[in-house]
Amino acid sequence: MLAAWQILAMLFPSRLFPTPIDVGAHVWTLATTGKLLPDLGKTLTRAVIAFVIAMALGTAIGIGLGRSRVADRLFSAWVVVGLNVPAIVIAIVLYIWLGLTEFALILAVVLNKLPLVIATIREGVRSFDPAYDDLGRAFRMPFLRQLRLIAVPQLMPFVLAAARTGLSLIWKIVLVFEVLGSDGGVGFRISVFFQFFDIKGIFAYTTAFILVVFVFEYLILRPLERRVLKWRQPR
């Protein structure tokens, strides 16, 4: 792919179609002399804070809705609303109410991701095998021990699924919300490049951003998944 891109860019030279080598060199320049690293840092901080809050809150609410039919009947419609309201609407409303603040941006990201985590965890709790509850009762396992050895392992595949889908969603919406209103970050910088039709800058930031996503995927998520789900029968 990269080779094809390189050849095509060399055949049709244009300021709007830089070669991957040019983009790679530009990444280095922006990282060493530009604002790439502080921008990446800002975006990452926002994404991580929003991710942690949404996962913690979504897991707690998802467990509640999964265990209680009454709570589910009361709030499941809101989960559906949350899943389907366009992300941009939530961001705009919060920016109007709270101003173009860091808090508004992170809250908008959390509110966009939360319903997805709730729905995934709720399904996880519903899929718990009641036979294991009998096991806990028969051997009088204390509540916390049952939670740690029976409930959490059953929930982990769903938590990991929520983390993976949630993370991919967060990367996208953080950038969109940064474009909409922020004082820095990858999205903000890309919107500035857009105003100057600086394709090389846009590609350079996108490349750096993808590298960060790969680091998350291959150095954190996958090893974690392998460790947590190593008991699963290989298919």
- Least distance in angstroms from the C-beta of 129 to another protein: 9
Length of the chain: 235
Nearest CA to 59 out of 142, 141, 146, 162 is that of 162
Name the residue nearer to another protein (CB basis): 70 or 131.
Answer: 131
User: How buried is 85 (Cβ within 10 angstroms: 0-12 exposed, 13-18 middle, 19+ buried)?
Assistant: middle
Q: Which residue in the set 149, 211, 215, 224 belongs to the binding site for another protein (CB under 8 A)?
A: 149
Binding to another protein in span 112-131, by CB under 8 A: 131
The reply to whether 73 sits near another protein by the rule CB under 8 A is no
Q: Does the protein bind another protein through residue 145 (CB under 8 A)?
A: yes
Residue 106: CB atoms within 10 Å: 20
Smaller CB separation from another protein, 99 or 153:
153
Helix (H) or strand (E) holding 175: helix 152-180
Please report how close the Cβ of residue 119 comes to another protein at its closest, in angstroms: 24
User: Does the protein bind another protein through residue 15 (CB under 8 A)?
Assistant: no
Among 134, 214, 222, 223, interactor with another protein by CB under 8 A: 134
Nearer to another protein, 135 or 199 (CB): 135
User: Which of these segments, 92-100, 120-128, 147-155, 205-213, binds another protein (CB under 8 A)?
Assistant: 147-155
- 204-233: which residues touch another protein (CB under 8 A)? 231-233
Q: Do 47 and 32 meet the contact criterion of CB atoms below 8 Å apart?
A: no
Q: What Rg do the C-alpha atoms of the chain give, in angstroms?
A: 22
Contact 159, 59 (CB under 8 A): yes
Q: Does 137 bind another protein (CB under 8 A)?
A: yes
Q: Which long-range contacts (CB under 8 A, 24 or more apart) does 102-107 make?
A: 102/46, 102/182, 105/46, 105/174, 105/177, 105/178, 105/181, 105/182, 106/46, 106/49, 106/50, 106/53
| Residue 144 lies near another protein (rule: CB under 8 A) | no
When asked if residue 139 is in the footprint of another protein (CB under 8 A), the reply is: yes
Q: Which residue in the set 16, 70, 138, 144 belongs to the binding site for another protein (CB under 8 A)?
A: 138
Contact region with another protein (CB under 8 A), list: 12-20, 58-66, 144-152, 212-220: 144-152
Residue 153 binds another protein (CB under 8 A) = yes
Q: Please tell me the number of Cα atoms within 13 Å of 61 on its side-chain side.
A: 21
Which residues touch 7 (CB under 8 Å, ≥6 apart)? none
| From candidates 25, 132, 160, 221, binder to another protein by CB under 8 A | 132
Residues 110, 107: Cα–Cα separation, whole Å: 5
Which residues of this chain interact with another protein, rule CB under 8 A? 131-132, 134-135, 137-141, 145, 149-150, 153, 231-233
